Structure 1
Amino acid sequence: HACHCSDDCLVRGDCCTNYKSLCKGDSSWLQDQCEEIKSPECPAGFVRPPLIMLSVDGFRASYVKRGNAVIPNINKLRTCGTHAPYMRPVYPSKTFPNLYSLATGLYPESHGIVGNSMYDPVFDATFTLRSREKLNHRWWGGQPVRTVLPYVYAMHSEQPDTYGHKMGPMSTELNNPLRVIDRIVGQLMDGLKQMKLHRCVNIILVGDHGMEEAHCDRTEFLSNYMTNVDDIILIPGSLGRIRSRYPNNPKCERETKRPGKTMFCKKAEQHFKPYLKQHLPKRLHYAYNRRIEEIHLLVERKWHVARKVPEGRRHCGFAGDHGYDNKITSMQTIFLGFGPTFKFRTKVPAFENIELYNVMCDLLGLKPAPNNGTHGSLNHLLRSPVYRPSMPEEVSRPATSGLVPAGADDLGCSCDDKVSCGPRKSHRNLPYGRPAVLFRTKYSLLHHSDFISGYSESLSMPLWTSYTVKVSPLPDALSNCVRPDSRVPPAYSQSCTNYRADKQITFAFLYPPQLSSTVDKKYDGVLITNTVPMFPAFKRIWGYFQRALVKKYATERNGVNVLVGPVFDYNCDGVRDSAEKIREYVSGTIPVPTHYFAVLTSCLDFTQAADSCSGPLSSAAFILPHRPSNDETCRSSEEESRWAEELMKMHTARVRDVELLTGLDLYRRTTRSYGEILSLKTYMHTYESEI
């Protein structure tokens, strides 16, 4: 609209944002060149640069490709400031969970807003977007940034989400709401320039989630999979959450918790997978809250799930949706930071939105409340970070272990060949330093030529095992024997006798003996201290990882360091179980891990070998659920080469997730800064196509 060119508007402070450009001939902010703001330039009276938080609902990361013809102002902020190719939302990729995760740095299972609608069995109440119940403080956990209003201003736009739902994310009609949002951003920047605040204010522009194509015709109906759909309550749509309609009826409750028998792999073309919530990928952090139903349906992108076919023909009122697995490309959203505190013309790796809370607190001079982010992991966004992270102190150092008398106890094991543990090669097998143990326990280092283990007395198995595989490992040298380890007393060792007696469980090696550098050294790998308890079904995945994938990754990356070990998370809170907690679930026997982890590290520059890397590192992590069946894949009757790697990628994770679940701290001896290491630990490979 035309601006009234009245000079007294400057005195009154009510000028239109285009007053200077329209009435005085000044350039608009968009017309100005990018300028590097090396320090805040604020009018008198400002204690610190204010923070303006712009949140755009449903802004799929790929929308930035529409360019200057559609979003010139957003593009300029992105180009002149700091941006990531995308920001990953938390799961579920819905609005309320993500906005509150941005405000608190907490996962939904931690702050309690686990969906746009949810039922709390203790409150016996339901939270929905349209009810007044959502205004009740009892639902909202954490300590949001909004409690410090004087220096933070927030704005949320419900576009382009509304149009994305209606028209679909690929529609050219989305350009109209995107232009409106961009024009508002331009007005903001012109207004800040007019008030001489454009070199003072820090601006963060984020989305809450992306948008995927969807349509009513692509709907799975549970009535095609189970007979008792009238006995369940389903939160439908791009994900499914199921609870019993009659929670006080034991039979109905029991039937509701049987997804494996009623819905697993029932059809060849099934577009959802049912999970008990404790079996969901750990990277989702979506189990440890009473508001999360026991049964969860992960729905394939572009599809929906509903209880039963609606009566009568209905008009389909949408062409897009969100809420899907937060690692898929279409769910990724935008992040950019602009202002004197952010770096100039800088692109940073993608990250998860829980990390932003600590950055906002740093910008505002606040001490963050406890949260799920890793403080300092986004320091590379900032010109002069105020928080300097430090490496955590090691709590338990390895005991000095000497050989103990072997005695006569062979633990029921037999092996014709003798073993002699070779010379220590710590640098090759631990090129990035020994993992530190951050909890009280007793363990010792067991050295071998081709691998090193941190062996736990209380667990009678390694906490971790580390080895480095060269580009072309030697041919397999297989062995079918297991032998006792004279360095560990029988009381702290597993036994072959127990494995033979238990028909449900077998053993597997953490370091694969077939990768030994010589035939003689394979016998280090068959020590019983290199074994862990494993379900036979899971051993198929583990065996394929060891014999095929490790070699594949080593060849692709010029060698790879492999760190593997057990995970114990019986209570599903995403944090290592203490010995006392494990005893609550397992008594009198060697505990069976709930998961196994693998962290693969190589040089980002593949011209350098993994164990002699002088530059940035590259890592990939997996947290694999240890289960007695491979139902999750629906292809377990086929060869492992057809499904095992795909299943592992489903359970990709951050290195930081591994650390939380094991109580370990990794990468303690590298050439990189600790801030860079934190960024590495919080990065997650999604194995998705580029944005």
Structure 2
Amino acid sequence: VVVLFALLTGSSVSVAYVFQASRPGEDAGSPPQTKTISDSLWVSSAGSCKGRCFELEEALPPGCRCDNLCKTYYSCCSDFDEHCLKTAGGFECSEDRCGETRNDDHACHCSEDCLSRGDCCTNYKALCKGDAKWVDGECEEITGPECPAGFIRPPLIMLSVDGFRASYMKKGKAVIPNMEKLIVIFFKGLYPESHGIVGNSMHDPVFDANFNLRGREKLNHRWWGGQPIWITAEKQGVKAGTFFWPWPYVYAVHSEQPDTFGHRLGPFSNELDNPLREIDNVIGQLMNGLKQMNLHRCVNIIVVGDHGMEEAHCDRTEFLSTYPLNVDEINLIPGSLGRIRARDPKSTTCELHSTCKMPTQHFKPYLKQHLPKRLHYANNRRIEDVHLLMERKWHIARKVPENRRHPGRCGFFGDHGFDNKITSMRTIFLGYGPSFMFQTKVAEFENIELYNVMCDLLGLTPAPNNGTHGSLNDMLKAPPFTPTMPEEVTAPTSSDTTSATTYDLGCSCDNE
């Protein structure tokens, strides 16, 4: 992953260039493949991005676009890569580039005029002028925002790292020195039943349509529920931009690493150190660039993961074909959580559920209304009726593959999506900036709480959400919202221990 950040204070614009499209190859051990998204078949690519890179206003069809989501919507102008995704010269200065003659084809510059023009590589001052890198400086408490003139509020930059298992932080300064310097807080979980994106693949019975990450249906807004932070910001007059996530007082960037290599190599492979170093280098580039422009005491920064990573392997797979049911009558979303839907909507899923019970099986079958309530994974029509909650490290599939390309070989050694009470599913939260408490660790929390925190950092009124506003006030220096306790409506009375009443709430609990 290479991300080059540039903050242009004069126009209050945050820009992040993200060059990352590697995924595991189809065969184990093959190198990551570069994914190139073709130009749109529906939007004309005529026109130019010269002078328009990452424009704030999206060009409407039939015009081509140069904003940060044009790749996602297959609507970029034909010269978008040439003008907006420059890679020539690399993304950092080297000693032989210091004082170079300006080359406008370079992605960033190391010439003497780069500071005045605002386009230096992020390590220009450190390498060419002898300034200290951010990571080498002393840990300091930022008592208040120190922002250049023209800033209404401290901007918020959020970097989401995919599949960053919390235990990766134990690798320390040898692998992730920049992340080591940031404050560490842990969290887990989210409520997909409320926002409607219940999985990477799903079926909506009302739409009679399927959603997955490869098809164009993912771009249809009818699937999306809830309100993400950047929409809340825009509705309340605060500029926002995202990269790789559905300028700039709030800015979000999502990285596919270390998830891609975590799947391929497993969470305990020494080779995983390389993608972790890449992520840490990105954070180092960001912090050096902010320091170079005297913004490192102005901006609030959040580094957050979406989930952890657990060991997994093809040899630890349950096959539904070994159970007394006809697998041709069902649709199964396979993997670390088996989601089953009958092909015939009129069939009885309860009968299907009752057959999935054998003494040695590595999953627990549930009707969705009986899943542990802490999962918050039932109240949505897109959630299948039957679920197989897998043991950690185990997968579920419909039947044994008939013709494997390479028998005995497995293309993955890690996965996620297991029960979020498992420690390996936990991820990280790092908060840094003038609004965060200094060197403070808080108790673990669910990541649904972060929306309210980000609203507080930006002075926004949160939209309705599943979080508890104010629950993370301990991490903020001056939280703007203080929750109030509900008023008691009945006076306390002494309890009668001789006639205790037992109430059956009708819940199905997971006691493990």
TM-score range, shorter chain: 0.7 to 0.9
What are the residue-to-residue correspondences of 1:329-368 with 2, within 5 Å? 329-368=423-462
Alpha carbons 2:353, 2:386 under 8 Å: kept? no
Q: Structure 2: which amino acid aligns with 1:244?
A: A
For 1:334, what is the secondary structure of its paired residue? strand
Alpha-carbon distance, 1:311 to partner: 0.3
For 2:136, what is the secondary structure of its paired residue? coil
> Within the alignment, does 1:89 sit opposite 2:189 as a pair?
yes
User: Once the two structures are superposed, what CA deviation does each residue of 1:615-673 show, in whole Å capped at 9, x if it has no partner?
Assistant: xxxxxxxxx54xxxxxxxxxxxxxxxxxxxxx52x3xxxxxxxxxxxxxxxxxxxxxxx
For 1:289, what is the secondary structure of its paired residue? coil
Alpha-carbon distance, 1:197 to partner: 0.3
Alpha-carbon distance, 1:220 to partner: 0.1
Equivalence for 1:241:
339
Equivalence for 2:294:
196
Question: Moved runs in structure 1, 4+ residues, more than 4 A?
Answer: none
Name the CA shift for 1:531/1:89 in 2 (closer, same or farther; >3 Å): closer
Equivalence for 2:217:
133
Equivalence for 1:593:
505
Equivalence for 1:272:
363
Equivalence for 2:323:
225
**Residue of structure 2 aligned with 1:117, choices 201, 204, 214:** 201
**Residue of structure 2 aligned with 1:297, choices 373, 380, 388:** 388
For 2:471, what is the secondary structure of its paired residue? coil
Alpha carbons 2:364, 2:388 under 8 Å: kept? yes
User: Once the two structures are superposed, what CA deviation does each residue of 1:164-220 show, in whole Å capped at 9, x if it has no partner?
Assistant: 000000000000000011011001000000111000000000101001110111000
For 1:68, what is the secondary structure of its paired residue? helix
For 1:330, what is the secondary structure of its paired residue? helix
Alpha-carbon distance, 1:363 to partner: 0.2
Alpha-carbon distance, 1:593 to partner: 2.7
Equivalence for 2:9:
none
Alpha carbons 2:317, 2:397 under 8 Å: kept? yes
Equivalence for 1:431:
none
> Within the alignment, does 1:67 sit opposite 2:167 as a pair?
no
Q: State the distance in 1 between where 2:269 and 2:263 align.
A: 10
Q: State the distance in 2 between where 1:358 and 1:37 align.
A: 22
Alpha-carbon distance, 1:20 to partner: 0.7
Alpha carbons 1:259, 1:276 under 8 Å: kept? no
Alpha-carbon distance, 1:258 to partner: 2.1
> Within the alignment, does 1:370 sit opposite 2:282 as a pair?
no
Equivalence for 1:209:
307
Q: State the distance in 1 between where 2:137 and 2:325 align.
A: 65
Q: State the distance in 1 between where 2:187 and 2:221 align.
A: 28
Q: Structure 1: which amino acid aligns with 2:192?
A: P
Alpha carbons 1:259, 1:274 under 8 Å: kept? no
Q: State the distance in 1 between where 2:331 and 2:350 align.
A: 13
Alpha carbons 2:320, 2:399 under 8 Å: kept? yes
User: Once the two structures are superposed, what CA deviation does each residue of 1:53-112 show, in whole Å capped at 9, x if it has no partner?
Assistant: 01000000000001101000011113xxxx22x21123xxxxxxxxxxxxxxxx210110
What are the residue-to-residue correspondences of 1:74-473 with 2, within 5 Å? 74-78=179-183, 83-84=184-185, 86-90=186-190, 107-147=191-231, 148=233, 149=240, 150-247=248-345, 250=346, 253-254=347-348, 256-264=349-357, 266-267=358-359, 269-313=360-404, 314=406, 315-394=409-488, 396-397=489-490, 447-448=495-496, 450=497
For 1:59, what is the secondary structure of its paired residue? coil
> Which has the higher Rg, Structure 1 or Structure 2?
1
Alpha-carbon distance, 1:594 to partner: 1.2
For 2:157, what is the secondary structure of its paired residue? strand
User: Once the two structures are superposed, what CA deviation does each residue of 1:441-468 show, in whole Å capped at 9, x if it has no partner?
Assistant: xxxx5742x4xxxxxxxxxxxxxxxxxx
User: Once the two structures are superposed, what CA deviation does each residue of 1:499-542 show, in whole Å capped at 9, x if it has no partner?
Assistant: xxxxxxxxxxxxxxxxxxxxxxxxx23xxxx334xxxxxxxxxx
> Within the alignment, does 1:42 sit opposite 2:147 as a pair?
yes
User: Once the two structures are superposed, what CA deviation does each residue of 1:594-614 show, in whole Å capped at 9, x if it has no partner?
Assistant: 12xxxxxxxxxxxxxxxxxxx
Q: State the distance in 2 between where 1:258 and 1:346 align.
A: 52
Equivalence for 1:531:
501
For 1:243, what is the secondary structure of its paired residue? strand
Gaps of 5+ in 2: 1-91, 100-110, 234-239, 241-247
For 1:54, what is the secondary structure of its paired residue? strand
Q: Structure 2: which amino acid aligns with 1:59?
A: F
Q: Structure 1: which amino acid aligns with 2:200?
A: N
Alpha carbons 2:157, 2:251 under 8 Å: kept? yes
Equivalence for 1:24:
129
Report the structure, 1 or 2, having the larger helix content.
Answer: 1
Q: State the distance in 1 between where 2:505 and 2:311 align.
A: 39
Alpha carbons 1:89, 1:333 under 8 Å: kept? no
Q: State the distance in 2 between where 1:389 and 1:376 align.
A: 6
Equivalence for 1:670:
none
Q: Structure 2: which amino acid aligns with 1:285?
A: H
For 2:182, what is the secondary structure of its paired residue? helix
Alpha-carbon distance, 1:23 to partner: 1.2
Q: State the distance in 2 between where 1:531 and 1:338 align.
A: 50
Q: State the distance in 1 between where 2:222 and 2:299 align.
A: 34
What are the residue-to-residue correspondences of 1:1-16 with 2, within 5 Å? 1=92, 2=94, 3-5=97-99, 6-16=111-121
Q: Structure 2: which amino acid aligns with 1:324?
A: F
Q: Structure 2: which amino acid aligns with 1:276?
A: L
Alpha carbons 2:265, 2:413 under 8 Å: kept? yes
Alpha carbons 1:58, 1:207 under 8 Å: kept? yes
User: Once the two structures are superposed, what CA deviation does each residue of 1:336-392 show, in whole Å capped at 9, x if it has no partner?
Assistant: 100000011111111110011000000000000011000110000011111111112
Alpha-carbon distance, 1:162 to partner: 0.5
Q: Structure 2: which amino acid aligns with 1:206?
A: V
Q: State the distance in 2 between where 1:154 and 1:108 align.
A: 20
Q: State the distance in 2 between where 1:380 and 1:447 align.
A: 35
Paired residues in the alignment total 390
Alpha-carbon distance, 1:259 to partner: 4.5
Alpha carbons 1:239, 1:305 under 8 Å: kept? yes
**Given the two structures, how large is their TM-score scaled by the length of structure 1?**
0.55
Alpha carbons 1:119, 1:125 under 8 Å: kept? yes
Gaps of 5+ in 1: 91-106, 399-433, 435-444, 451-523, 533-565, 567-591, 596-623, 626-646, 651-691
Alpha carbons 1:49, 1:200 under 8 Å: kept? yes
For 2:251, what is the secondary structure of its paired residue? strand
Alpha-carbon distance, 1:260 to partner: 4.9
Q: State the distance in 2 between where 1:293 and 1:42 align.
A: 50
Q: State the distance in 2 between where 1:347 and 1:61 align.
A: 14
Name the CA shift for 1:336/1:119 in 2 (closer, same or farther; >3 Å): same
Alpha carbons 2:320, 2:398 under 8 Å: kept? yes
Q: Structure 1: which amino acid aligns with 2:187?
A: M
Q: Structure 2: which amino acid aligns with 1:390?
A: T
Q: Structure 2: which amino acid aligns with 1:57?
A: D
Q: State the distance in 2 between where 1:447 and 1:62 align.
A: 46
